[in-house]
Amino acid sequence: MSDRKSLPLSIAALGVVYGDIGTSPIYALRECFYGEHSIASTAANVLGVLSLITWALILVVTIKYLAIVLRADNKGEGGTIALVALLNPWRARRGSQRYVLMLLGLFGASLMYGDGAITPAISVLSAVEGLNVATPAFHPFVVPITLVIIIGIFLMQSRGTAGIGALFGPGMTLWFLVLGALGLHGVLSNPTVLAAMNPVHGIAFFLRNGFAGFIVLSSVFLCVTGAEALYADMGHFGPSPIRRAWLVLVLPALMLNYYGQGALILTGAPDIHNPFYQLAPDWMTYPLVGLTTFATIIASQAMITGAFSLTSQLVQLNQLPRMEIIQTSSDEQGQIYIPAVNWLLMLACISLVLAFRSSSALAAAYGIAVSSTMVVTTILTVFVARRYDWRASVTYPVAAVFLIIDLGFFSANLFKISDGGWVPVLMAIGIFTLMTTWSRGRKLFQSRISGSEESTQELARRVRDDPPHKIPGTGVYLTGGDHAPAYLLRHLERNRVLNERIVLLTVQTIDEPRVPAVERLRGWGVAPGIYRLVIRYGFMQTPNVPVALRFSEQLGLDIDIENLTYFLGRATLIPSDDLPGMALWRDHLFAFMAHNAIRATDFYGLPPEDVVELGFHVEI
């Protein structure tokens, strides 16, 4: 990639990829020395903590994610679901290794929703708390101002981010430049702080503080929260611009700012309580609050859109029920809006701010979700490496090193479960339960109706031996496989009428991000007037059946696309305790999700005036 093309992508990556990790200096070092589980701000401890932050940024972000994990891409896409899809586990036998890995990956994805709720809450709250540095008179207004900003962020989601998104890259560029400038000013006032680059200070910190030092590791971990976004957003920019933005601007700016804050703490001034804001001169407090708030809005926006993208992938892979997915840009396919996810995240953020009321209290709930996801990413990367024949002599030792680091951060964060860490864990368990119930319920539903289905050859034989009354046009029947669906057979038996042409249509989501339009449609004739079509989409794409059917003429199929009637089966689910499968409460949960899923008409982009729904009952 040429420098001319790479530079704009690197700047854009600053606004999407690095928003979360870029706002960590607001609270990470503060929590180590002034948080609930803080340690004394002695010179040795300051150098020790800074050393741990330095090597966390180098080992976890620079080496693990940028140098290694970004190589485990799925056709250019990254993220937990893309990583799971590389293992092709969706049809794995229950209890098999691939099935267990799928569950692990889905739980890691569930944890990302907790991260998506906490990031806006802690980021915006920590930014607004800067007003307290200017004057304590603002203290009663911090929470209300935070809530107004958070509500505003979620209200603007339905309009898309095309307009304001253009400001994200330049805005974060300014943010990192300010971070670096403030940090450099602090370092120049006390250059001895640079000794923290020596990892010996980090090792000595643990030896000196023991268990208390281990607990502080959970606060140190806050400096790398957001590293998962490097991998999840790889498909938007490619690995090179992401790496370049990190090495050229983000990492130097973060390091300078942390070291500048450390130099300020080393002064031993008794009034130091928020080193990020106090690093700036007094005249700069209000402008810095404004810039910080804008940066946290960008960080929040990145996490929210990430939740939209994750949900869309899970829906396409049948791990969540169909939801309304709105395309907010005619140019960029990845810019989507999911109302249900948006409002649930907004309620979660508001509840977190009202419950914890300070960024320090929220910090305890923050690390557990991200540290758990990092452990999952490391484990899945090892199995992907095995599948793609990465050298075992290198893969296993490197993976062991990073797994030890990840488990160290995870273990330290476990001690904060009672302080609020249970919140993202509880959210993840709830979402994981929804996903596994939906996936299991769909398989049970398919098994219940499979006995009422016929193969396409049997349908052709039935129509040939006992011809029904034919009406003009083409009838499109959605089916889950190479068979005639039960609702079609019931319609044929009761009404004795079919269209002149019948299309048995299956919409498939494959384990790749995208399928080119020219490769999307496959079709063949089963019998005179009966056709079999398969439309394939990647897990990053939104289905649109009418558009895909326009390519049927190129396949040489005699389908009148101007006179189509879409027939859909609409099942009424009846939970029953007499049938094997799931617990009765899960049967009821599956039925509830199925009832509230958006109609296939909307999900597949079918024109409502051309749709006929045929209802039937199924016990589950």
The answer to whether residue 2 scores a pLDDT higher than 50 is: no
Place of tokens 């990190």: 246
DSSP 146-210: HHHHHHHHHHGGGG-SHHHHHHHHHHHHHHHHHHHHHHHHHHHH-GGGGGGGSHHHHHHHHHHHT
Model confidence band, residue 355 (pLDDT cutoffs 50, 70, 90): very high
What pTM does this model have? 0.86
Q: How far apart are CA 573 and CA 448, in angstroms?
A: 11
The answer to whether residue 407 scores a pLDDT higher than 90 is: yes
H or E stretch including 618? Answer: strand 611-619
What pLDDT, on a 0 to 100 scale, did the predictor assign at position 287? 93
Q: Tell me whether residue 53 is exposed, middle or buried, using C-beta atoms within 10 angstroms of its C-beta: 0 to 12, 13 to 18, 19 or more.
A: buried
Q: How far apart are CA 498 and CA 479, in angstroms?
A: 16
What pLDDT digit, counting tens, does each position of 174-211 carry? Answer: 999 999 999 999 999 999 999 999 999 999 999 999 99
**Average confidence (pLDDT) over 14-29:** 88
What pLDDT, on a 0 to 100 scale, did the predictor assign at position 91? 66
**Average confidence (pLDDT) over 92-97:** 75
What pLDDT, on a 0 to 100 scale, did the predictor assign at position 232? 77
Higher confidence at residue 279 or residue 618? 279
Model confidence band, residue 592 (pLDDT cutoffs 50, 70, 90): very high
The answer to whether residue 332 scores a pLDDT higher than 60 is: no
Cβ atoms of 606 and 546 within 8 Å: the answer is yes
309 closest CA partner among 14, 600, 80, 61: 80
What pLDDT, on a 0 to 100 scale, did the predictor assign at position 300? 87
- Mean of per-residue pLDDT scores for the chain: 87
DSSP 229-280: HHHHTHHHH-HHHHHHHIIIIIHHHHHHHHHHHHHHHHT--TT-S-HHHHTS
What pLDDT digit, counting tens, does each position of 136-183 carry? Answer: 888 899 999 999 999 999 998 887 655 556 678 888 999 999 999 999
Please give the DSSP secondary-structure letter assigned to residue 551.
G
> What domains appear along the chain, each with residue ranges and CATH number?
17-440 (1.20.1740.10), 453-619 (no CATH)
Q: How far apart are CA 17 and CA 228, in angstroms?
A: 9
Percentage of residues in the chain having pLDDT higher than 70:
96
Model confidence band, residue 1 (pLDDT cutoffs 50, 70, 90): very low
What pLDDT, on a 0 to 100 scale, did the predictor assign at position 570? 85
Model confidence band, residue 558 (pLDDT cutoffs 50, 70, 90): confident
Cβ atoms of 206 and 214 within 8 Å: the answer is yes
Model confidence band, residue 75 (pLDDT cutoffs 50, 70, 90): confident
**Of the candidate ranges 121-130, 359-368, 580-589, the one whose mean pLDDT is the lowest:** 359-368
Could you give the 3-state DSSP secondary structure of residue 470?
Answer: strand
The answer to whether residue 517 scores a pLDDT higher than 90 is: no
What pLDDT, on a 0 to 100 scale, did the predictor assign at position 19? 85
Model confidence band, residue 330 (pLDDT cutoffs 50, 70, 90): low
What pLDDT, on a 0 to 100 scale, did the predictor assign at position 411? 93
Model confidence band, residue 329 (pLDDT cutoffs 50, 70, 90): low
What pLDDT, on a 0 to 100 scale, did the predictor assign at position 588? 92
Q: How far apart are CA 46 and CA 29, in angstroms?
A: 9
What pLDDT digit, counting tens, does each position of 414-468 carry? Answer: 988 888 888 888 999 999 999 999 999 988 888 888 777 888 888 888 888 888 8
Please give the DSSP secondary-structure letter assigned to residue 72.
S
Cβ atoms of 94 and 54 within 8 Å: the answer is no
What pLDDT, on a 0 to 100 scale, did the predictor assign at position 248? 92
CA torsion 154-156-161-163 (nearest 10°) is: -150
**Average confidence (pLDDT) over 273-284:** 91
What pLDDT digit, counting tens, does each position of 361-376 carry? Answer: 888 778 888 888 899 9
